[in-house]
Amino acid sequence: MTDETEQSKEGADFRIRRATAEHLQDVIDLDARITGQPKPEFWQDIYDRYATRRVDQRFFLVAEKEGRPGILGLIAGEVRGWEFGSQPCGWVFAVSVDPEVRQRGIGEALFKEMCNEFRRAGMTTVRTMVRRQNPLHMSFFRSEGMMAGPYTQLEMNLDEG
Amino acid sequence: MQKSSRLAIYALIELASNPERQISAAEIGAKYRVSAHHLAKVLLTLGREGWVQSIRGVGGGYSFTGNAKRLTLFDIISVFEDTNTSCKLDDPSEATDEEWVLFDVSNEINDIAMSTYSSISIATLLKQVERRKKVAMRDAAAQDA
């Protein structure tokens, strides 16, 4: 997918395309509506880094519908590699769908397009990290076929260490 | 995971893969190499939960009545067994640091297992079965070529 190319999912009434500057406010608004926490600086930074630089390995996609204000959903990811010896792979670090239009295949279409981008970048594996207690994200990625991988997330409380 | 939980999941996968069809306990039992008697007991429990219904008589059997997208492995397993498998502290007020440390590790493992079971629905398992079949067919075709 190029910056200018739009893609329509067959039989669907929405399209997926790379995020542009005109989508930024829509992204901020959607995230604020879902999380209840507006993060304009965070999304500006994500946009700057993932939609404008190294765009052959960084992907920030949105789903939108003709004539409908705002975006239906978004997904962001990049090619990452060599962390603790990991071969380069695709990493998804954000996915959101407007609660009003969920269960219509938008999240799945965004994820599939992201996987296609990773394939085009030469990747054979896609990874993500989600909160175990978030059944929405856990169930979504599971239903797309993702399973536990060879890496485990660890953390510690710095005040106790 | 206990045997009853496994049988329940196999039966639900089988029934949910074709919700219009009535399937007998003997038919499911033959596929998974388990006794129809044991399976019938499991199916009775699944019926009480409203996930399957049985139709008596010729051509009768069991059919799926649940919501495959909503019904998770955790829902099913928790009907048949205690899902808190972490080690127990008999008396927390008396527990030593060593006991607490082992308790925390055990809780961590249990937490991962339960959140994994909670995130996998019958619909997801069905998709996984289809993917596995496709991969097997692709591998077989590659070997033939």
Which of B111, B112, B127 is the closest to A143 by Cβ?
B127
Contact status of B31 with chain A (Cβ, < 8 Å): no
**Helical (H) or strand (E) element with B134:** helix B122-144
Q: Mean pLDDT across the stretch B73-93?
A: 85
Task: State phi, psi for B89 to the nearest 5 degrees.
Answer: -100, 115
Contact status of A32 with chain B (Cβ, < 8 Å): no
**CA dist., res. A28 & res. A41, Å (int):** 9
Kindly determine whether residue A143 and residue B115, on different chains, have CB atoms separated by under 8 Å.
Answer: no
pLDDT for the residue A57:
93
**Helical (H) or strand (E) element with B6:** helix B3-16
pTM for this one?
0.82
Q: Mean pLDDT across the stretch B18-34?
A: 91
Taking only residues 51 to 70 of chain B, the set having a beta carbon closer than 8 angstroms to any beta carbon of chain A reads none
CB A103 within 8 A of CB A139: no
pLDDT 10s digits, B48-75: 999 999 988 777 799 999 999 999 999 9
CB crowding B41-59: b at 16 or more within 10 Å, else e: ebbeebeeeebbbbeeeee
3-class DSSP assignment, residue B56: coil
**ipTM value of the model?**
0.75
Q: Tokens 């590790």 belong to which residue?
A: B105
Q: Which residues of A touch B131 (CB under 8 A)?
A: 145
pLDDT for the residue A80:
92
Contact status of A157 with chain B (Cβ, < 8 Å): no
Domain ranges (residues) in chain B: 3-144
Residue B23 per-residue DSSP state = B
**CA dist., res. B79 & res. B49, Å (int):** 9
pLDDT 10s digits, A61-119: 999 998 888 999 999 999 998 888 889 999 999 999 999 989 889 999 999 999 999 99
pLDDT for the residue A161:
58
Kindly determine whether residue B118 and residue A143, on different chains, have CB atoms separated by under 8 Å.
Answer: no
CATH class (in words) of the domain with range B3-144: mainly alpha
> Which residue did the predictor score with more confidence, A81 or A2?
A81
**Helical (H) or strand (E) element with B46:** helix B36-48
- Give the residue on B whose Cα is nearest the Cα of A136: B119
Percent of chain B with pLDDT over 70: 98
3-class DSSP assignment, residue B66: coil
Q: Find the angle CA(B27)-CA(B137)-CA(B70) to the nearest 5 degrees.
A: 55
Q: CA–CA distance from B43 to each of A8, B13, B67 (Å)? A: 44, 12, 16
- Give the residue on B whose Cα is nearest the Cα of A153: B112
CB B33 within 8 A of CB B6: no
What is Dmax (Cα atoms) for chain B? 67
Contact status of B134 with chain A (Cβ, < 8 Å): no
pLDDT for the residue A6:
47
According to DSSP, the residues that pair with A94 across neighbouring strands are A76
- Give the residue on B whose Cα is nearest the Cα of A152: B112
Position A45, amino acid = D
Q: Mean pLDDT across the stretch B110-139?
A: 92
